[in-house]
């Protein structure tokens, strides 16, 4: 089975998602998108597979979002994608693709909705929040 994560190891949410994938018994393909950004066609495909607006994939915090004027509602999807291609840090993360779908996994427990295999035990996020119990069931 192939699971792919577009990952930023400096991001706590991304690290939690990677750990949740591994906790389900999977060894994902890890793409550090800041080092190896997706092509334009791949990015467009990811957004389409997630079924979300292009704007929802844009990250504001810690990026040149405001400096580039990306908060302008008149900007087209193509212009926003152009910005993400020029500045991969603008891509929100982590994006995960599994046989069950693709999702922007924020918050990190969102990944549980698209993992084919259940968790193999308890899981606690880096911040101490318990999201999976000892039996591998999601805590609401």
- Is 29 annotated in the active site? no
Write down the catalytic residue from 5, 6, 8, 11.
11
Contacts of 100 (CB under 8 A, 6+ apart): 113, 114, 115, 116
CB 130 within 8 A of CB 139: yes
CB 17 within 8 A of CB 105: yes
| Catalytic center residues | 11
């Amino acid at each position: 089975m192939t699971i792919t994560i577009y990952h930023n190891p400096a991001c706590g949410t991304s690290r939690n998602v990677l750990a949740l994938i591994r906790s389900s018994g999977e060894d994902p393909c890890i793409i550090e998108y800041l080092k190896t950004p997706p092509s334009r066609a791949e990015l467009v495909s990811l957004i389409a597979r997630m079924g979300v607006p292009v704007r929802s994939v844009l990250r504001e915090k810690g990026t040149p979002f405001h400096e580039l004027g990306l908060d302008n509602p008149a900007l087209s999807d193509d212009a926003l994608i152009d910005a993400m291609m020029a500045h991969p840090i603008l891509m929100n993360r982590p994006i995960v693709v599994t046989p069950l779908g693709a999702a922007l996994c924020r918050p990190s427990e969102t990944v549980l909705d698209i993992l084919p295999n259940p968790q193999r035990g308890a899981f606690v996020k880096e911040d101490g929040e318990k999201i999976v119990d000892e039996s591998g069931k999601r805590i609401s």
